[in-house]
Amino acid sequence: MKIVETYSHLNGIEFLLVHKPGLWDEIQEVIKQVNGESCKTKVSKEKNMKGHLLYSPVEMNRRFKELLEAKSWKESRVSYWVTKDEKLIRKTQTMPTDKQKEEIVQAGHSPIYSYNQTDFVKERVAVEVQFGKYAFVAYDLFVKHLAFFIGDKIDVGVEILPMKSLQSQMSSGVPYYEGELYNVVRQGRGVPAVPLIIIGIEK
C-alpha cells in the first residue's frame, strides 16, 4: 500500500517529525509493507457488486496488526468511572481513576466502570487502522484519541483510512479519507482538541 494524502490536525505531523521521527518512519514503512493485492479475497454478495472480488477489511486489518505488533506497537486502555450527574463528571474526569470512583461514591452516586481501548500505542503515539464501518472513525477521533490525550497517555493520534479509490473496491459502509477529512475540517481548527494525523492510503 502507499500513502496518498496526509492531514495534520493541531500540528500532529509536525510534532512527530520533530520529536518522534523514528515512529513516523515506522508507520510509513508498515503501510508500504502491506500487500494490498493479497488482501483482495472477499467475494461480494452485495447486489450491485455481486461476484466481484473485493479488498477484505478483515485481511487488511490482520496484516496491519501483524506488522505493527512486530515493531512493538501494543494495545492500551484508558479506564475511568462515569455516573449520571453531569457536574460530577466534569469534576472527576481529570482525576486519577481511583479518585474518580471515590469522589462519585462520596457524592452519593453509583460509579460505573468504563474504558477506551486503542489497538496500537508506542512511545505516546496511538495508531488506529480503520477499515470498519464509517461511524467508528468519529469514535476514534472524537472519543478514543481525545480520551488518551486528555488522560496524558498520548501526544498524537494517527488514523489510517482508505482513499475513496480504494474504498470503492471494498464493502459498503467502509469510511474513506476524503469524507472523514471533511468531517474534521467542518468542526473548526480546534476540534477535536487533540493533535492528529489522518492518513489516506491506496494500493
Domain boundaries, the chain: 2-79+115-202
Q: What is the pLDDT of residues 52-96, one digit of tens each?
A: 788 888 899 999 999 999 999 999 988 899 999 999 999 998 898
pLDDT digits (tens, 9 = 90+) for 183-199: 999 999 899 999 999 99
CATH class of 2-79+115-202: alpha beta
Could you tell me which of 194, 192, 202, 201 has the C-alpha nearest to residue 15? 194
- Full-model pTM: 0.88
The answer to whether residue 4 scores a pLDDT higher than 70 is: yes
Tell the burial category of 201 from Cβ atoms under 10 Å away from its Cβ (0-12, 13-18, 19+): buried
